[in-house]
Amino acid sequence: MPGFVFDHVGLSVADLDAQRRFYGEALGLTEAEETVDLPAAHVRTAILRAGNGLKIELIERRGSLPQEFADPFDGAGAQGYFHWAVYVEDLGAAFASVLAAGAREVSAPADAVRPGMRFAYVKDPEGNLLELIQPANRPA
């Protein structure tokens, strides 16, 4: 079987420019690896990258419809992708930083089921769920 390596997640957004600013400030995704404008399809995209290799593709299509979940359990009630997750070294600092960048709190930092692991959920400015995970054996 061939080996697979994760590359990026794609996120449909209403406002590409605003979401680029948010993800740049919140997660350090500031390098534009690729941008595409397709005027006939009313689509603009940008693949953003952080220095550590984390990537996201933001896709704006005029007329797209929003979906928003009240919490992670609500999101699991519909099939398909409903959140994405990133590891952080310091959950408290990361949580405060993304809130300062414009995210909204969904669930405050808490212990996970896996011993020593902690997590929190936030929504980006458009309501998309993002999970922050501090792995076990890291400072709290």
Q: What's CA 86's distance to the chain center, in Å?
A: 8
pLDDT in tens, 65-83: 888 788 778 888 877 778 8
- Calpha distance 113→118 (Å, rounded): 9
**38-50 pLDDT per residue, tens:** 999 999 999 999 9
CATH class of the domain comprising 72-134: alpha beta
* pTM > 0.85: yes or no: yes
CATH of domain 9-61: 3.10.180.10
pLDDT at 86 over 70: yes
Domain ranges of the chain: 9-61, 72-134
Give Cα 95 distance to the centre of its chain: 13
